[in-house]
């Protein structure tokens, strides 16, 4: 199988933090391994217990799927080295394994004829799941490698990775301040920290369950009546505890209203089309 696939790895940095090293099925398929120095390549081979260290890209078979897997800061240099070593990449497949970069970061190789793709491993499920995008041929070659993990491959659209990272940040970087604000609101009410944290955890769990079940139908702007009165009292109470929490709450609510309004317009347009 290794002979027919000819998987060539280009890497840099510590191999122990390299996503490829977490998948023994892929390691078994690796042939030549190229790093910035031959010593680094040998170290990577020893750590993975797979592959063969080589001194130059020219030693890698042209029929290989060239897999770049390294921390983001190394990728531009690896790509430049590939372009300098082999001016003509026509008919060759190159895949980038990264959590933030995609096939656009292989553009110098694509301009020289390479068929490029990106692979993003996800650690959200019980079994391996990979997002793959790029040139159809490179995507198919990447898929043939990833089947060795017994995982699932999800094809996404070109430039789809930023949309995934947007979702990731919305549920982490952006959600965390909201959770902190919710906890702070309970603390201002006099609720002990441990109880406040448990309340927020259960509130969020309930919201997630409702969202999974009914989607955006669970979200409503309180327009009038008792719901409107509740909102006004919330804002008044927050204003008394400090301008910072009050402003954060109002800004978050305004942003949610704008987003849901645009989402509703998009759904109506789609329905009309």
Name the residue ranges covered by the structural domains of the chain: 2-168, 183-218, 220-273
pTM for this entry:
0.79
> Exposure pattern of 148-158 as b/e (b: 16+ CB <10 Å)?
bbebebebbee
Share of the chain above pLDDT 70, in %: 83
The pLDDT confidence band at residue 92, using thresholds 50, 70 and 90, is: very high
Comparing 29-43, 104-118, 222-236, the range with the smallest average pLDDT is 222-236
Structure confidence by residue, pLDDT tens digits, 142-152: 999 999 888 89
Comparing 32-36, 127-131, 159-163, the range with the smallest average pLDDT is 159-163
The pLDDT confidence band at residue 115, using thresholds 50, 70 and 90, is: very high
Q: Is the pLDDT of residue 2 over 50?
A: no
Of 224 and 167, the structure prediction assigns the larger pLDDT to: 167
Query: CATH top-level class for 2-168?
Result: alpha beta
Beta strand residue intervals within the chain, DSSP E: 7-11, 30-34, 52-53, 65-69, 93-97, 115-122, 129-134, 152-155
Q: Is the pLDDT of residue 9 over 80?
A: yes
- pLDDT for residue 41: 95
Write out the DSSP string of 34-77.
Answer: E-SSHHHHHHHHHHHT-SEE-S-GGGS-TTSEEEEES-GGGHHH
Structure confidence by residue, pLDDT tens digits, 171-201: 888 888 889 888 988 998 899 999 999 999 9
- pLDDT for residue 255: 73
Q: How far is CA 126 from the centre of its chain?
A: 17
161: Cβ–Cβ under 8 A, 6 or more apart, which residues?
Answer: 100, 101, 102, 118, 120, 131, 133
| Mean pLDDT in residue range 58-68 | 92
Share of the chain above pLDDT 90, in %: 52
């Amino acid at each position: 199988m290794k002979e027919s696939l000819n998987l060539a790895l280009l890497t840099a940095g510590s191999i122990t933090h390299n996503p490829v090293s977490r998948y023994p099925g892929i390691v078994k398929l690796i042939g030549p391994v190229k790093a910035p120095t031959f010593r680094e390549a040998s170290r990577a081979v020893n750590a993975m217990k797979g592959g063969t260290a080589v001194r130059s890209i020219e030693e890698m078979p042209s029929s290989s799927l060239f897999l770049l897997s390294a921390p983001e800061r190394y990728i531009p240099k690896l790509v430049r080295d590939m372009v300098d070593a082999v001016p003509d990449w026509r008919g060759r497949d190159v895949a980038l394994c990264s959590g933030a970069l995609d096939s656009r970061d292989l553009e110098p190789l694509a301009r020289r004829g390479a068929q490029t793709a990106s692979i993003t491993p996800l650690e959200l499920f019980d079994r391996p799941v990979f997002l793959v995008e790029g040139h159809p041929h490179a995507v198919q070659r990447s898929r043939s490698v990833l089947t060795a993990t017994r995982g699932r491959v999800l094809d996404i659209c070109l430039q789809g990775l930023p949309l995934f990272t947007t979702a990731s940040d919305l549920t982490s970087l952006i959600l965390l301040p909201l959770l902190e604000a919710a906890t702070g609101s309970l603390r201002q009410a006099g609720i002990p920290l441990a109880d406040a944290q448990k309340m927020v955890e259960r509130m969020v769990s309930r919201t997630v369950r409702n969202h999974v079940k009914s989607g955006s139908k669970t979200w409503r702007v309180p327009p009038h009546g008792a719901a409107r009165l509740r909102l006004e009292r919330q804002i008044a109470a927050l204003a008394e505890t400090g301008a910072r929490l009050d402003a954060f709450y109002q800004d978050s609510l305004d942003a949610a209203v704008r987003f849901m309004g645009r989402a509703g317009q998009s759904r109506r347009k789609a329905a009309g089309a």
